[in-house]
Structure 1
């Protein structure tokens, strides 16, 4: 069973979202737009409260500000990821690229830059939930276990083994790996990956793709340099999954 479908014996409420921000004005604005779209919203104003709520309730998604009192958003994200793969969208300050990259490394699935469009945020929420709940790669006509030299990808179980050793990937890293591995040797542009893996047709920073690819290579490389080389950069175009014959 997908960990998102069960938390401490409770089924995940597919409509319930946790919004974490120390500014009440932002929480109210985000809540208003999410509720208009049919979501149930709960709020937290600091990192300690957010972590307690996130680990004791089966949320469908968490919107998490980076800069929080009592506990930094990055620390909250890291601790959530130790126990849950609930999708996380981080809110970051404009131009703070280093913070965004660090957020991805800790397991965030996406980020939105402040000041942001509430409509864009809702669109990203819907896209991430759609991808997490109904992954394109889980269609029955596609293989459910992908096997390559030193690499096995168990799609239904959302498990990756490199040289027989299981490695931990975030939900989006897993989705990205599966999407490319199911189509070996096909070159994907960043725009295609944003559209098909993130479900972003109009929004989305291409650096999101680059950061996830970088982190995915690092995780695979820690277990096997050979496997990390399966993900190939095609300069000026994008990326492909290639297994040398």
Structure 2
């Protein structure tokens, strides 16, 4: 399958270099120099992934990311000249799945694109089909379609919310430290603090009222499973 990537970047040099590397890997790339043009693409031919600059004319990348997250959980990689930790945290909290600071290596960007596709798109093989449906009390996860149900209701979740819920559902009653969760969900190249874990848990709890996602004080979190 040739995945379609939307590149929203107003620097022509970066446009040319990034699109050339992505096309070499077999991706279809649509280049736009504003978030407004990106939104038009989303409405007419939505890409499978976005690579999004923050500093754009008109609507900035943060606003575009926030607006897009009200409609879709499509993967988003943010690229920006802003390298302050607060900017990175803001980008991730608004729904970005990854954040890359300029200047960056095009090869590193391609590697992150591949990794994010592997993590967010459904996988198709016999072994996974056998374990597609995962149920822990009132939480039900369909791995193949990346669908989440709780107490009979389906919820739209971000890729990291899905990753966390899947990890907990695969390991009910197991306590994970914040460091464990950072490594397993964000990867070993994550640059921020463990505050991201607390923020992600808060979002899940707010979204799914009464989900038994418990705090293990001074350590981390666990998903409580009722005794048989």
| TM-score between both structures, scaled by the size of structure 2 | 0.80
RMSD, aligned α-carbons: 3.1
Residue 83 of structure 1 aligns to a residue whose secondary structure is coil
Aligned to 2:184: 193
Match of 2:129 in 1: 140
Deviation digits for residues 71-118 of structure 1 (CA, Å, limit 9, x no counterpart): 111221122222222211111334332232222232221111222221
Q: What are the residue-to-residue correspondences of 1:34-53 with 2, within 5 Å? A: 34-53=22-41
Q: Show the counterpart of 2:202.
A: 217
Q: Distance in 2 between matches of 1:234 and 1:136?
A: 39
Query: Per-residue deviation at 1:239?
Result: 5.6
Q: Is the 8 A contact 1:187 1:234 kept in 2?
A: no
Deviation (angstroms), 1:40 = 2.0
1:25 and 2:13 correspond: yes
Distance 2:134 2:147 in 1: 10
* Distance (Å, rounded) in 2 between the aligned partners of 1:209 and 1:34: 32
CA positional deviation for 1:182? 0.9
Following superposition, the deviation at residue 127 of structure 1 comes to 0.4
Which residue number in structure 1 is paired with residue 85 of structure 2? 97
On the 8 A contact 1:218/1:228 being kept in 2, the answer is no
2:56 to 58, 64, 68: 68
- Secondary structure of the equivalent of 1:112? strand
When the two structures are aligned, how many residues end up with a matched partner?
223
Uncovered stretches (5+) of structure 1, i.e. residues with no partner: 1-12
Aligned to 1:116: 104
Asked whether the equivalents of residues 2 and 28 of structure 2 are also in contact (C-alpha less than 8 Å), the reply is: no
Q: Which moved more, 1:62-71 or 1:79-88?
A: 79-88
Unpaired runs of 5+ residues, structure 2, are none
Deviation of 1:30 after TM superposition, in Å, equals 1.1
CA distance in 2, matches of 1:107, 1:55: 19
Q: Kindly tell me: are residues 74 and 94 of structure 1, through their superposed partners in 2, closer, same or farther at Cα, counting changes over 3 Å?
A: closer
Contact 1:18 1:59 in 2 (8 A): yes
Shift of 1:191: 6.3
Contact 2:23 2:29 in 1 (8 A): yes
Q: CA deviation at 1:44?
A: 0.6
Contact between 2:124 and 2:144, CA under 8 Å: does it hold in 1? no
d(CA) in 1 for partners of 2:207, 2:28: 40
- Report what 1:59 is aligned to: 47
- Give the 3 Å change call, closer, same or farther, for CA 162–126 of structure 1 in structure 2: same
